[in-house]
Amino acid sequence: MSGIRVALPAGDVEVSAAFDTPDEPWAAVAVAHGAGAGMDHPFLVGLAGGLAAAGIATLRFNFPYLEAGRRMPGPAPHAIATWGAVMADLGRRAPGLAHFAAGKSYGGRMASMAAAAAMIGPAGLVYLGYPLHPPGEPDKARTAHLPHVVAPQLFVAGTGDPFIHPLAQLEEAVQSCQDAEIAWITGGGHSFEIKGAKRPADEVGAGLAPLLAEWMRGVIQRPAA
């Protein structure tokens, strides 16, 4: 495990990171945590293991607020700056590969904001439970920036996720994007838990890896524009 330096207005900080790679990776992806859990959450560890089994290198990392021991996310520009530093670091660790950005909930939304602001230019972005709006408050949609994202986007969404009800609102947001699609997880909640089918979080994360790998390979194999 080694850190990544992030330049913030008050000075540079270092955030923890963990890079895992199979012997011959064909792609690499940076993976961000959600608002309330760090990079070592079992869901993300399981996802990284599943991606490694599929031939994909992963770079998990913490945002500065969590590294400093705070529970509440800091300013969005801090997270966007972190994404910029992380993607640059991924480029150094995994040269010559297609680089993707992925994130659970808050981490994915911050990646989308970084991409919309052209702070990162990944081959594609994956959102694991995009927090479209606070639960029960669909009038507070976090979608205005999404049409400005140029890279392909995959929204992995549980049909039981309170952050995206009504589901048609997510479909409308995706239709407004330049290049985006939804992968529905039937019955899945915000963390892809399914009622009546209790599984450990690491198994849930690992179970999503083949879906992500298939989409990423499809993006890579697209004909050049």
Q: Give the confidence band of 124 by pLDDT, cuts at 50, 70, 90.
A: very high
In this prediction, residue 225 carries a pLDDT of 62
Across the strands, what pairs with 7?
Answer: 12
The pTM of the full predicted model, rounded to 2 decimals, is: 0.96
End-to-end Cα separation, the chain, in angstroms: 38
Q: Give the confidence band of 11 by pLDDT, cuts at 50, 70, 90.
A: very high
Backbone dihedral angles phi then psi of residue 181, each to the nearest 5 degrees: -150, 165
Q: Give the confidence band of 1 by pLDDT, cuts at 50, 70, 90.
A: low
Domain coordinates in residue numbering, the chain = 4-220
Distance CA 176, CA 105 (A): 20
155-212: pLDDT as tens digits: 999 999 999 999 999 999 999 999 999 999 999 999 999 887 889 999 999 999 999 9
91-121: pLDDT as tens digits: 999 999 999 999 999 999 999 999 999 999 9
In this prediction, residue 36 carries a pLDDT of 87
Distance CA 219, CA 207 (A): 20
Closest CA to 216 of 50, 101, 92, 83: 101
CATH architecture assignment, domain 4-220? 3-Layer(aba) Sandwich (3.40)
Share of the chain above pLDDT 70, in %: 99
